[in-house]
Amino acid sequence: MQTFLPYPDFAASATVLDPLRRGRQRVEALQVLRALTVPGYEEALVRYGLEMCGHWCSLGRPDTCAATMTTWPTSGHARTACPCDHTTSKAAIIAMSSCSRLWQCRTYRPR
């Protein structure tokens, strides 16, 4: 799984993803939780997945991932990525989609 975190805030990150990628992120977050491939990051992964589910459902699409994620045991604190990691996510999203909303981001300045 590759999480896309162009912003430190999960909600802001979810809004810039296209609907299909957002839908895939919610499923992959659940798969990573089940595989326990990121020990120590469960809380952040659950929050990320739930944010993706919320945006997915706001488009009127059905979701079964959120119900499973809310029952996942977590440590009670969210450990997240280094702030510098968000820049690489922005670049990856732009590279995958020429019509990304990130082009409208005031803090992103293409060179």
Contact 52, 46 (CB under 8 A): no
Residue 19 lies in a domain: yes
Residue 4 lies in a domain: no
> Mean pLDDT of successive 10-residue segments in the chain (111 residues)?
78 88 89 78 86 92 90 60 57 59 49 48
Q: How many domains does the chain have?
A: 1
0.85 cut: is pTM over it?
Answer: no
- Please report, for residues 8, 50, 92, 95, the alpha-carbon distance to residue 64 in angstroms, rounded to integers and kept in the order given: 26, 11, 27, 30
Range of the domain at 96: 10-104
Candidates 103, 69, 90, 99; CA nearest to 5 is: 90
pLDDT reported for residue 87: 59
Residue 110 has what DSSP assignment?
Answer: -
